[in-house]
Structures are given as C-alpha cells and as structure tokens.
Amino acid sequence: MKGIFPIEGFKAMETPFYYYNTELLRQTLSTINIEAGKHEQFRVHYAIKANANPKLLNIISHAGLGADCVSGGEIKAAIDAGFSRDKIVYAGVGKSDWEINIGIDNEIQCFNVESVPELEVINEIASARGKVANVAFRINPNVGAHTHANITTGLAENKFGIAMRDMENVIVLSLKMKNINFHGLHFHIGSQILDMGDFEALCNRINDLLCQLERHHIKVETINVGGGLGVDYRHPNRMPMPDFKAYFDTYAKHLKLREGQTLHFELGRAVVAQCGSLITKVLYVKEGATKKFVIVDAGMTDLIRPALYNAYHKIENITYDGEKQTYDVVGPICESSDVFAKAIDLDECHRGDLIAIRSAGAYGEIMASQYNCRRLPSGYVTEDIR
C-alpha cells in the first residue's frame, strides 16, 4: 500500500475505475451533521448530480441528508437509495411532463420552479392528479461568485431562475393557483466557491428580498441557498474536507432567518469530491519532440473536468516511488483536449504503473460518456477491494 490506497487489491482490477474511500465519506457526513446540527433551523440535502453511484447514495441517505434532484432520473435514484420522499426537492430549468409526474406521484417535498410557464404546467398536472404541489421559486439573485465562468449560475445573464423584479408577481400568481402551495425561495450562485464573502453577499441579498416580501405580507417557510462550497483540489491529503464550520457559520451570522423558517443547503462537491479518485494505468511513456507524455488508459470520457473547465486534479504515481520526472499526462481519446495535466512532476512512470487522479468524486463518474465507443468506468468503494 502506497499512501491511502489499497494497491495490492487494485492490481487485479481492470482500469480505469473510480475508487471511493467510504471512511472519508462517512467522516465528511458526520462533520456536516455536527456543524449544521449546531443551528436548529438548518437542513442539509445532497445534490445528486455530483455523483449518483448507488453505493455512495446509500451511505449519504443513511446519514440523514435530503436529496436535491435535477431530473426525473435523479428522483428515482434518490428514492431507490432510500432518501425519504419528503426530503426530496426537484430543481431544473427545463422539467419535462413525465419528470413532473414522477415528482407529483411521489409527493416530493418541493419543486424549485424557474419560470411562469413551468409553474402553470405543474399546476395543471397536479390538478389532473388531484394533488397539491409544494413549490419554491428559484430566484436569480444577480450575485457573482469567484469561480470558473462555466459554473457561475447566479448572474442576471445566466439562464437559471426568475429575475428579482418578477419575484413578487410570480408568488402572487402562485397563491391564486388551487394546486400549488407556495413554500419558499431557492437560490444557487455557482460551484467550487471558496470565498465565504460570496455566500455573505447572497445572505445580504436574501435579507433584502425577505424584507420586500414581508412588506407585502408574503410568508416564506423555507429558504434554500443551494450548494457551491468548494474543495481543495491541490491538497486532498492536507484538506480532505472543506471548512464546514466556516460555511455554516457564515449563514448563521449573516442570514436573518425568521422564526419557524428553515434554511436548506444542497451540497454536492463538498460531500463527495475528496473521497473519490480515478485509478488509471500507464499504457505508454512517450518521448515527444520537446516533452515526455504519460499516456494512460483513462480519458476525458471518464473524467471530463480538465477538458471542460481546465480543472486541476492532483495526480500521483501510486505504484512506483522514483526520481521525479516532468510529464504531460494524457488519455487515449482522439481529441487534443484529452489532457489531464501539463508539465507536472511525477515519480518516474513505466508501462503498467497505476496512477491516481485525486479529488474526482464529484462530477467525475456521473459525467462519464461512451464517446469513441468506450466502456463506462466502474465505481468501487473501500469495502469492494480485497
């Protein structure tokens, strides 16, 4: 065993595959429960989009978290994994009728609604089924986040949510609908946010919106602030968990919750990123004209974040301790963007060495594709490895 990985067990396994350290996942969940549990009105959901591996979902649902879903398929996955239906919320800018039906039939906690046409369809479908749907409105707070442009969601230019100026009219409209129960407000400003000041800015905006609604005697039961808490991709060993205390304390300090209101969080990346690694094998070490390439058997089809966001993942040779060499680590896909890292120092690599691409538990396995007719990577947890 080198470092934290059961290398002997890995040797018999077909690569590439995802490996999830369930001990770290359990510790992370326990820390979340302790830190959020200090605030009576706080409720934590897990954003299934980050990773829907059933073994992880099972552990997360057993820890008591609710589920944040963005498709009918995710609602089904959440129910199959044991999440309680009354702790499932469903967001998304384009919900199809069949997906709305799944939510209504299962009497989920809440639909996070993003437009008036969507509200009207939910009302119609709920009416046809003789049900009342709880809804929260996703408001676009026009709050920026210091993160990658592709994962910023709370700016006026983004497609998500209802503009603040329309908020009151939409709520008033919903209060007149027979099969809709207005529940609350929903926000999500982006992902991989490390600056607590961004969350503080969101709190300040929500405080203003709550005052505005109170002036018109509109009661808000739940406030959902989405997810977005980032992780330390550079130091997965030193910082295996984000600073959950600082995160929850920021909301406790800056958001002025009213009596009886609950505050919902929908954390994805912060829950699962650090427990997962993509394990891949060196196929070839190739001397290029100006540099050396390590060609591994995983590609952008298995982990797309570096190609999509230029995202950094720490990479380690977990088989061999040797002198450091500088390499570009690339996959076998026929795309120039199929690169995991450029000019990084790794213990000298040889054909057959196992390589760990760290912090890959979020937006990794779930985003895998079969481009180039490749196989999807398998996901294993600690208990699967002998």
**Sites of contact with ligand PLP (CB under 6 A):** 47, 49-50, 68, 91, 188, 191, 226-229, 266-270, 362
CA distances from 284 to 118, 178, 354 (A): 52, 64, 12
Check: CB of residue 364 under 8 Å from CB of residue 303: yes
Closest to ligand PLP by CB, 99 vs 266, is 266
CA distances from 183 to 111, 133, 376 (A): 9, 10, 40
Closest to ligand PLP by CB, 70 vs 295, is 70
Check: CB of residue 85 under 8 Å from CB of residue 106: yes
Closest to ligand PLP by CB, 10 vs 265, is 265
In angstroms, what is the minimal distance from the CB of 342 to ligand PLP? 25
In angstroms, what is the minimal distance from the CB of 226 to ligand PLP? 4
Closest to ligand PLP by CB, 92 vs 331, is 92
Check: CB of residue 187 under 8 Å from CB of residue 123: no
In angstroms, what is the minimal distance from the CB of 372 to ligand PLP? 27
In angstroms, what is the minimal distance from the CB of 270 to ligand PLP? 6
Name, in order, each residue with C-beta under 8 angstroms of 166's C-beta and a sequence gap of 6 or more. none
In angstroms, what is the minimal distance from the CB of 281 to ligand PLP? 29
Residue count of the chain: 386
Closest to ligand PLP by CB, 327 vs 363, is 363
The angle at the Cα of 202, spanning 198 to 206, to the nearest 5 degrees, equals 170
Closest to ligand PLP by CB, 269 vs 314, is 269
Check: CB of residue 184 under 8 Å from CB of residue 110: yes
In angstroms, what is the minimal distance from the CB of 268 to ligand PLP? 3
**Got the DSSP string for 212-265?**
HHHHTT----EEE----B---SS-TTT-SS--HHHHHHHHHHH--PPTT-EEEE
